[in-house]
Structure 1
Amino acid sequence: MDKLAILIPAYNEEQTIEKVVKDVKEVVSAIPGSVIYVYDNNSKDNTVALAQKAGAVVRHEYAQGKGAVIRRMFREIDAEAYIMIDADDTYPVEAIPDMYQKIVDKDVDMVVGDRLSSTYFEENKRPFHNVGNTLVRKLINTLFKTNIRDILTGYRAFSYRFVKTFPVLSRGFEIETEMSIHATEYRMLVENQVISYRDRPEGSESKLDTYGDGFRVIKTVINLYRGYHPFAFYSIFSLIFFLVSMILFVGRVLLPYPATNTVPNFPSLIVSMILLVLAFITFFSGSILDAIETSNKRNFELKLIECEDKKKNG
C-alpha cells in the first residue's frame, strides 16, 4: 500500500503534463512512499511519453470519460491517502502537503480544493462556467444541506475509506458532483481548502462542454436527490397530483352537484379519481424507497467497518 498516491487523469495534455508531474514530484519528495500515477484516457498526442519522461507511473483506461478513469484509479490503487489533481496545470501543487495532512492527521474523508473562494472568477475566461459553478453549488448545498464551497473542482484529497466505498456511476465530468453528494449523504468528514486557480496556459484546450456537461450535472443532481431522498422527491409529485385532483373534483363535480343532484361532468370525476390514485401511489412509493435507502445507509456503515479492517490488515 502506497503512503500517498497522486492520481492524475489525462487526455491530450501534452502541453502541461510534464510540468505538472515534475511540480508534483518536487512537492511530494518529502513524503516517503509517494507515487505519482498518470491515467491516460486514449490521448492522441504525446501525453504518455512526456508523463513517463517526467517520472510518473503511466496506466491506461480505454473507456472514454473522466468517470471511467476515476473508477479505474480507485479500484487499482491502494494507498493510505490519495490526491487527485487535473493535468492542465490550473491548480497549485503547493497545497498537496496540507491536503495530505488533513487526511492522515484529522482523519478527513475528502478535502475539497476550493477555487471559488479565491481567484477562479478572475482567472476563468468562460463566463458561463462561472455562472454554472455558482448555481450548482447553491443547488446542492440547498437540497442536500451541506456546505461544500466548490462542487465541480477536480482538485481533491481522499481517504482510503472514501475511495474504496465510493460507487462510481457517472462517466463524464459530473463525477465530481457525485463525489460531493456521496460524501455528504453518508456523513463522511469533508473539509474545504481554499486554493488559488490559474487559467489554462495559452494553447491548452479545455475538454469541457459548457452546455452539454452542465445539463448532465443538473441531471445527475436530480437523479441523486431522487435516490438519496426518495420520500421528499416523490412527495412533491404526490402533492401536485392531490391538489390537481381536489381542484378538479371540487370545481367540476362537487360544487355543481347540489343544483342538479347529478354529476354534470363525469369525465372530470374520472380524471380526478385517477389523479387521486396516482397521488397515493407516488406517496407510498416514496415511503417504501425511503425505507430501502435507510437500510442501505445502515449497510454502508457496516461496509465502512470492513474497509477499516482491511486497511489495518493490508
Structure 2
Amino acid sequence: MSEIDGHYDFGDVAVVMGTYNEEKAIGTVLDDIERVTDGEASVVCVDGSSDRTPEIAREKGAQVIEQEPQGYGVAVERALRAADRPVVVTTDCDDTYPMERLPTFLAEINDGADVVSGDRLSRGAETMPRFNRFGNHAFAVVASLLVGERVHDTTTGMRAYRKPIIDSIEWTENTGLSAELLIRPLCRGYDVREIEIDYAERAGETKLDPISGGAEIAGSILRVSLEERLA
C-alpha cells in the first residue's frame, strides 16, 4: 500500500514526543536531534510537566503544546496530529533512544516503507529492567500470533511514519498506544519494517508502573488485534 512521494530530507521530518517532568534529559535529546538533522527537523512536544521541561524545550526551539496530564497516548497522539511535515518520527524524552539512527529511519522511508519501527530487544536491551524486558518479549510473541507476522518489539517509542497513515487511522489507546501504532498499520497491509537499535539507560525516573501498565498494554494488544481482524 506504499505510495512513493519522492525523496525526503530532514526538512520534511517532524520529531514528536509526549513530555512529563523530564528536565534532566530533554535538553540532551533536543540537542541530539539538532545535531543529527543539522537543525532541519522540527520538534513538537506535548507537555504536562510541573518542572522546567517545557521551558527547556522552548529554549531549544521546540514547539510546545501544554495540556493537563492525561497519559502517554493522549500526549503522543496530539503531538502526531500537530506535526505538519510528511514524515513523523516518535521518540521518548528520556534519552534512551539513539537519535544518531534518524538517518537510517529516513532512508527506510525513502526506500518505500510506510512505518519504520525501532527494535530494542533483538540487541538485548540490557539497560531495560529485567521484568520489563521479559514483558516486552511476551508482548511481541502475543502480537506476532495475533497479527500473523513476526514482531520483535511492540512497545518501542522510536518509529518513523508517513504522515498520511497517521491521519487516516483512528487511534483509540492510551497506555497501549505504542503497540497500537504498530499493530493497526501491520493489519492493514502497510509496509512496516523493524530495524535494530540500541537502548540506553534512561535519565530520570520512569513514570510507568510495570504491573498496571503492562496489563493495560497487554489489553491493548489483544483489543486492537481483534478489532482489526474482525473489521
Q: TM-score, normalised by structure 2?
A: 0.90
Gaps of 5+ in 2: 1-10
Q: Distance in 2 between matches of 1:64 and 1:168?
A: 15
Partner of 1:46: 52
Partner of 1:218: 218
Q: Distance in 2 between matches of 1:152 and 1:118?
A: 15
Q: Distance in 1 between matches of 2:150 and 2:191?
A: 12
Tell me by how many angstroms 1:166 deviates.
2.4
2:16 aligned residue (7, 14, 17): 7
CA contact (8 A) 1:61 1:72 kept: no
Q: Distance in 2 between matches of 1:185 and 1:93?
A: 28
Q: Distance in 2 between matches of 1:149 and 1:5?
A: 25
Tell me by how many angstroms 1:228 deviates.
2.3
Tell me by how many angstroms 1:139 deviates.
0.5
Matches within 5 A, 1:32-71: 32=40, 34-40=41-47, 42-62=48-68, 64-71=70-77
Q: Which amino acid aligns with 1:35?
A: S
Q: Distance in 1 between matches of 2:60 and 2:224?
A: 39
Partner of 1:100: 106
Partner of 1:20: 29
Q: Distance in 1 between matches of 2:158 and 2:74?
A: 17
Q: Distance in 1 between matches of 2:137 and 2:210?
A: 14
Q: Which amino acid aligns with 2:104?
A: D
Partner of 1:205: 205
Tell me by how many angstroms 1:116 deviates.
0.4
Matches within 5 A, 1:1-314: 3-29=12-38, 32=40, 34-40=41-47, 42-62=48-68, 64-103=70-109, 105-120=110-125, 122-124=126-128, 126-172=129-175, 174-201=176-203, 204-230=204-230, 293=231
Q: Distance in 1 between matches of 2:76 and 2:98?
A: 21
Q: Distance in 2 between matches of 1:26 and 1:200?
A: 20
CA contact (8 A) 2:120 2:153 kept: yes
Q: Which amino acid aligns with 2:25?
A: T
Question: What is the DSSP-based 3-state SS (H/G/I as helix, E as strand, rest coil) of the residue aligned with 2:215?
Answer: helix
**Residues 194 and 175 (structure 1), Cα distance of their counterparts in 2 relative to 1, 3 Å cut:** same
Question: What is the DSSP-based 3-state SS (H/G/I as helix, E as strand, rest coil) of the residue aligned with 1:123?
Answer: coil
**Alignment length (residue pairs):** 221
Q: Distance in 2 between matches of 1:21 and 1:123?
A: 21
Deviations 1:263-312 (A, max 9, x none): xxxxxxxxxxxxxxxxxxxxxxxxxxxxxx2xxxxxxxxxxxxxxxxxxx
Q: Which amino acid aligns with 1:36?
A: V
Q: Which amino acid aligns with 1:83?
A: V
Q: TM-score, normalised by structure 1?
A: 0.67
CA contact (8 A) 1:91 1:198 kept: yes
**Residues 211 and 182 (structure 1), Cα distance of their counterparts in 2 relative to 1, 3 Å cut:** same
Q: Distance in 1 between matches of 2:225 and 2:35?
A: 41
- Report which of the two has the higher share of helix: 1
Tell me by how many angstroms 1:106 deviates.
1.7
CA contact (8 A) 1:10 1:87 kept: yes
Q: Which has the higher contact order (CA 8 A, sep 6+)?
A: 2
Identity, in percent, stands at: 27
Partner of 1:267: none
Report the structure number with the largest CA radius of gyration: 1
Tell me by how many angstroms 1:63 deviates.
5.1
